[in-house]
Structure 1
Amino acid sequence: MKNKNMKIAMLAGIITYISACNSVKQEPQAAAVDKEQIKKEIQAKEDEYAATYNSGELKDIGYYADDATTFYQNRTPLVGKEAIIEFLRSDLVNNSNKIKFKTNEVFVSNDGKQIVEIGYFQVVDSSNTAINSGNYMSLFEKRGDKYVCVRDMSASDITFQ
């Protein structure tokens, strides 16, 4: 009888050990990210940014995060939303240029909280002649329920001679 109980106990232990080793823990799955919807949302932010700049009246549209840094061409980085807005205001004093943006691609993190946008920009003067164009990259973070730009930079494709 002891021998039979011992065999049953050993068999139960082996089965428990094997089943414990074979169990797979299910990792919580992140909600599916709709990349096309996010691309539309980012393009809408770019359109709003351009419309605000082109109106000549800069106001806070929630594009940049308070701690954003932007890398404009041929100047030191602008750190903080206030510094960026001040630069844009001073830029508008000296010109009546218009800008437009086109979101070409977005790369979305698995959790949808960060987005890298790659796009194209064009600047035209008051006679609608292109005076600058090129490409840009922007990093957005979801803060609260909206995306804000935390880093961006651009590169002109105009060749100066």
Structure 2
Amino acid sequence: MPHPASPVLRDPAHRVSRRALALWTIQAVGVLAVLLVAQVVWWVVDDPPSRTAHWLVALVWLVAGAAYAVGMPQWRYRVHRWEATPRAVYTQSGWLRQERRIAPLNRAQTVDLERGPVAQLLGLASVTVTTASAAGPIRIHGLDLPVAEQLVEALTAAAVAERDDAT
């Protein structure tokens, strides 16, 4: 039971870029496309007397996929947040399973900037901070490229300046 004077863990201060909505929507449509291609393959390979099962599965995939492509990016945008201080990185992420992580920069091993092809088209980037943690790296997806570049520079400088190595 927390002490009455204990501070409440607040949300990180910054949201990701609004363009992350487009990135996540494109990724969701890609998943839907793969499912529909699998449906077409099943349709071609299978030769049942009736195609009712095929139509039902295609309809379920189409409705569920459309709901996913519309709802998931909105939900992720509401949840995903980040914050960096000279001493730590704090993230909140997830869709169905949400996670908050705080990593002291004295445990940082690498700070990376990543950009996939779609992210490049949208002017977005992801920042990954690898730490000496069993929980794995901290990732901040969907940042505007200039924000990501500044964040990488600031985190790298802060990690180098930390003398108290906790690894």
Structure with more of its chain in helix, by fraction: 2
Q: What TM-score do the two structures reach when normalised by structure 2? A: 0.28
Please, what TM-score do these two structures have when normalized by structure 1? 0.28
Q: Which has the higher contact order (CA 8 A, sep 6+)?
A: 2
Q: Which has the larger radius of gyration?
A: 1
